Amino acid sequence: MATWKLEDAKNQFSRLVRAAKRQPQVVTRHGREEVVVVSIERYRELAREGPGLVEFMRGSPLAKALSRGDVVLTRTRDLPREIEL
């Protein structure tokens, strides 16, 4: 991946866009990596990769065990400890 200083990225934005169509481009600010510019095709690939969080959790082994009743989650009914302030 190529790296651009923010000032250079602003001054050469058209060039940055052309480069991002080939491969992701990193933009730095004050020497720290801040953003990555990617082509719209790559963005769409990344945006649709894999299930969302809810689907992921529903498909987890714990969710399946809970639905079968193999695992029972309980919560203690103890009172919280007293803390002097």
Read off the pLDDT of residues 25-49 as tens digits, 9 standing for 90 and up.
999 999 999 999 999 999 998 888 7
Q: Are residues 62 and 56 in contact, defined by beta-carbon separation less than 8 angstroms?
A: no
Q: Exposed (0-12), middle (13-18) or buried (19+): which is 37, by Cβ within 10 Å?
A: buried
Read off the pLDDT of residues 44-59 as tens digits, 9 standing for 90 and up.
988 887 778 888 888 8
Q: How far apart are CA 45 and CA 48, in angstroms?
A: 6
2-68 to CATH, choices 3.30.70.370, 3.40.1620.10, 3.90.950.20, 1.20.1070.10? 3.40.1620.10
Q: How far apart are CA 64 and CA 45, in angstroms?
A: 29
Instruction: Answer whether 0.75 is exceeded by the pTM.
Output: no
Q: Which of 59, 56, 19 is nearest to 39 (CA)?
A: 19
